[in-house]
Amino acid sequence: MLANLINGISLGSVYAIIALGYTMVYGIAKMLNFAHGDVIMVGGYVAFCSITYLGWPPVLAVLASVVVCTMLGILIEGLAYKPLRNATSLAVLITAIGVSYFLQNAALLIWTSNTKVFPNIFANLPSLKLGGTQVAPVTLITVFANIVIMIVLTLFTTKTKMGKAMRAVSEDKGAATLMGINVNRTISVTFAIGSGLAAIAGVLLCTAYPTLMPTTGAMPGIKAFTAAVFGGIGSIPGAMLGGILLGVIEIFGKAYISTQLSDAIVFAVLIIVLLVKPTGLLGHKVNEKV
């Protein structure tokens, strides 16, 4: 029971950290960045190459990964999404799927699809014993990283000028422009932050489940998107809650109901939650004023 709970939190914390990036971009730019999972994959590969081929220490590798992913995020936003700022949301969604394919296939060309085994960057840290169950250091660090990121993002969006600008843009682009906010720049910064988070998520995902392929980000990306919707998309604490709950439900479903039906159980719970509370657990209903 306790072991399953810990395993669930361990899996859920990985979903949560990915979901934070999803929810951040959705909350401000109001677009679903389906390429997020693939930016995570790129982050994983950059860290892998820095450690394995260049022999860099893990801290430097994580930094390199964050820098590359942030730049990639800005590039993707500038080339693919910015020109569609006034297009329908469907067009942007399709473009995001296109970017996702593009990144996967580019990774296939660069790194081939031979599976890489990600080094355990926390190998030196001891694991925690909790009631006879070992908690891997990567789990503790992922949960910790989740909390830190959640707090920093919340402070950032409520206290800083740029954060306030982001919230203004998310509420009403037109009014924000009238108030002298540079909407394009604000959205670019949002993407930069979201992609930087993706890099951290990529390193933590690959450390927890150390095989790396061009499709590594795809399935966790979809699960994390589910987690973000579950928690209430756009809500930062909601993403964290949704991610952890999703992981716990998945593990409990496997342990007590059936290993064959784990995904079916997860999505059944999601459907029930959305039927009862369409905005997700912590989502707010926004009344459109006409």
Partner 1 sequence: MKKRAVSAVLAAVLSMSMMAGCSDATATGSTGDGVTAGSTDSGAAGSTDNGAAAGSADNGAAAGEGGALTGTLNLGMIGPLTGGAAIYGNAVKNGVQIAVDEINAISPDFQIAYNPQDDEHDAEKSVNAYNNLKDWNVQVIAGTVTTNPCIAVSAEAYADRVFMLTPSASSPDVVAGKDNVFQLCFSDPNQGSASAQYISDNAMATKVAIIYNNSDAYSTGIYQTFNTKAAELGLEVVSTTTFTDDTANDFSVQLADAKDKGADLVFLPIYYQPASLILQQAKGMGYEPTFFGVDGMDGILTMDGFDASLAEGVILLTPFSADATDELTKSFVSKYNTNYGETPNQFAADGYDCPYAIYRALQYYANANGGLDVTGKSAEEICTILIGVFTDPGFSSDGVTGSGMVWTANGEVNKAPKAMVIQNGVYVGL
Under the rule (CB under 8 A), what is the footprint of partner 1? 3-4, 7, 10-11, 48, 52, 79-80, 82-84, 95, 98-99, 101-102, 104-106, 108-109, 112-119, 127, 133-134, 136, 209-211, 213, 219-220, 250-251, 254-255, 259-260, 262-263
Which residue number, 191 or 234, has a Cβ lying nearer to partner 1? 191
Distance of CA 196 to the CA centre of its chain: 10
In the complex, the smallest distance separating the C-beta of residue 229 from partner 1, rounded to whole angstroms, is 18
User: Do the Cβ atoms of 203 and 26 come closer than 8 Å?
Assistant: no
Which residue number, 127 or 177, has a Cβ lying nearer to partner 1? 127
Which residue number, 56 or 209, has a Cβ lying nearer to partner 1? 209
From CA 112, how far away is CA 91, in angstroms rounded? 30
Which residue number, 50 or 170, has a Cβ lying nearer to partner 1? 50
In the complex, the smallest distance separating the C-beta of residue 193 from partner 1, rounded to whole angstroms, is 22
- Collapsing DSSP to helix, strand or coil, 134 comes out as strand
Which residue number, 143 or 165, has a Cβ lying nearer to partner 1? 143
Residue 194 burial class via C-beta count within 10 angstroms: exposed 0-12, middle 13-18, buried 19 and up: buried
Of the candidates 251, 228, 205, 232, the residue with the CA atom closest to the CA atom of residue 69? 205
CA dist list (Å): 136 to 112, 209, 246, 247: 30, 12, 19, 16
In the complex, the smallest distance separating the C-beta of residue 3 from partner 1, rounded to whole angstroms, is 6
| Angle value at C-alpha 224, between 209 and 120, nearest 5 degrees | 20
In the complex, the smallest distance separating the C-beta of residue 226 from partner 1, rounded to whole angstroms, is 12
In the complex, the smallest distance separating the C-beta of residue 176 from partner 1, rounded to whole angstroms, is 22
In the complex, the smallest distance separating the C-beta of residue 272 from partner 1, rounded to whole angstroms, is 20
User: Do the Cβ atoms of 26 and 166 come closer than 8 Å?
Assistant: no
Which residue number, 124 or 259, has a Cβ lying nearer to partner 1? 259
The residues near 66 (Cβ < 8 Å, ≥ 6 apart) are: 43, 196, 199, 200
In the complex, the smallest distance separating the C-beta of residue 119 from partner 1, rounded to whole angstroms, is 6
